Structure 1
């Protein structure tokens, strides 16, 4: 089942993280969890999922492809694996792993795989898929592994875990949709915690939001992408000189302010081309372009297609996906 983020009131200030998540339209899938006992080890192969999981009780080891150090997880820890890397969960990494898909057909308690009687470690998981044409906006600024382990942050996430366990253990009408909304709320919460706790010196728009002035500039571009922004007006908006703003924006975000603005405008344009009946000229005007030709040139340079080619390609891909789903 697919669900969408609810549009924010136009009276609220722009929120770049919410803007990006709304654009990506994450589809949350409650995938249940694992309740394992004894010696155990499960291998999860690489996929295209954005995975969050939490240790509800007990402890285990986590080994992620591309991450040198083994992570020891304990009750209350919360982990995000944004890039779909292969990983292993185990009581002891010396135990020969089983492919999780080879045992997933074992008897389930609700949506939880009970292995060897369970009781030693209970882990819950939620999977997300995004619009992969735009997924790099978020995935490109996240590390391979996000580990939420501060006591205050774990306390914040505890409510979600308790609610998710209730949904799994006490199925009720509407539970599927409730589970998806809980998963989406959990995703927003954990990204917010990561933002607050981002390592100093991190590069990318997400970590840059923590910088008061650069965050304000990004927010302004999201709030009014059609404004005739220049480097000078953005700098003035956040109370900086043009040169100092240009340098700090590039340091924090990894790209120039005007490049960021163009990319965000083109992401918004691509969304409108697929999800609205607005003519190209109207989309161009709403995003600050004085002429349709200037907009089309910028769009093709950024997206690789003309606006009309992009709209037709995306609608054809969606129709093909629906047909394949109905025939399978």
Structure 2
């Protein structure tokens, strides 16, 4: 096996407690797992640590793997709600890639960068199960691995306004599915509301509300494509105040209704 074999690639959304303990590791394959919504916990260096939206986990075959998805406080009480992209893979190229340099078990990445679109393409190709798809998956997996390395090398400690701006961005990604208010974000970052609004727009070129809505739409899209959850429930649990509002925002963004989009895209993924 000279390249990379993708064994499984998908999006997982948990609404019930979920636990995995593999003390001897995954044995034969590597795992990349990107948390996109909600929280869970994993064990690193003997301690259980939180995994939040934007946390990417990397596991080699011989590394112990432990994951716990449990109830957490949500807007309407305690519930289980955790979403992630994952891919299991193996092969000679993967072995060489892993040996090249040490990598963290958990690293922070932006959910609006190139990694998520690549992952979605891998999922679509994996579902096709053709010879051509296997070749495409080989190259896509290499691109994902090299993209992870680039993101890792580009990470730098941030100070001052940049640190505050990205702290706000992380807060939005972690809480977009709840109806948080600007004052909550400002309090979390220890700045005034006006300061938070101005600083975020200065760094990212869009408002806090605009980005929160983008994240909510991405969460809704993932659930629409990869789960059978009713659209009304998706709207509510993705952070929209009502299905009517979600419908209006969705159609404005994509030009079709949520139902039409789900039907067309789900069919395309299955071909």
Change in CA separation of 1:179 and 1:298 when aligned onto 2, cut-off 3 Å: closer
Taking the aligned partners of 1:183 and 1:31, their CA distance within structure 2 comes to: 15
Aligned to 1:10: 40
1:293, distance to aligned residue in structure 2 (A)? 0.7
- Please give the residue correspondences for 1:47-126 in structure 2 after superposition, counting only pairs within 5 Å: none
Change in CA separation of 1:242 and 1:303 when aligned onto 2, cut-off 3 Å: same
Aligned to 1:242: 193
1:250, distance to aligned residue in structure 2 (A)? 0.9
Name stretches of at least 5 consecutive residues in structure 1 with no aligned partner: 33-52, 57-81, 84-127, 133-176, 201-207, 323-328
Taking the aligned partners of 1:300 and 1:23, their CA distance within structure 2 comes to: 25
Task: Say if 2:183 and 2:193, in contact at 8 Å, map to a contact too.
Answer: yes
1:267, distance to aligned residue in structure 2 (A)? 0.8
Task: Say if 2:34 and 2:56, in contact at 8 Å, map to a contact too.
Answer: no
1:301, distance to aligned residue in structure 2 (A)? 1.9
Q: CA RMSD in A?
A: 4.2
Task: Say if 2:186 and 2:196, in contact at 8 Å, map to a contact too.
Answer: yes
Is residue 2:243 matched to residue 1:283?
no
Change in CA separation of 1:238 and 1:262 when aligned onto 2, cut-off 3 Å: same
Aligned to 2:150: 190
Task: Say if 2:34 and 2:84, in contact at 8 Å, map to a contact too.
Answer: no
Q: Secondary structure at 1:6's aligned position in 2?
A: strand
Pair member with larger Rg: 1
Change in CA separation of 1:180 and 1:129 when aligned onto 2, cut-off 3 Å: closer
1:196, distance to aligned residue in structure 2 (A)? 2.0
Is residue 2:221 matched to residue 1:270?
yes
Taking the aligned partners of 1:299 and 1:180, their CA distance within structure 2 comes to: 29
Name stretches of at least 5 consecutive residues in structure 2 with no aligned partner: 10-31, 42-49, 58-82, 101-112, 122-136
Structure scoring higher RCO (CA < 8 A, sep ≥ 6) equals 2
1:316, distance to aligned residue in structure 2 (A)? 2.0
Task: Say if 2:33 and 2:86, in contact at 8 Å, map to a contact too.
Answer: no
| Number of aligned residues | 174
Change in CA separation of 1:29 and 1:187 when aligned onto 2, cut-off 3 Å: farther
The two structures have a TM-score, normalised by structure 1, of 0.43
Change in CA separation of 1:272 and 1:252 when aligned onto 2, cut-off 3 Å: same
Change in CA separation of 1:23 and 1:314 when aligned onto 2, cut-off 3 Å: farther
Taking the aligned partners of 1:306 and 1:216, their CA distance within structure 2 comes to: 34
Runs of 4+ in 1 over 3 A off after TM superposition: 1-5, 22-32, 128-132, 177-186
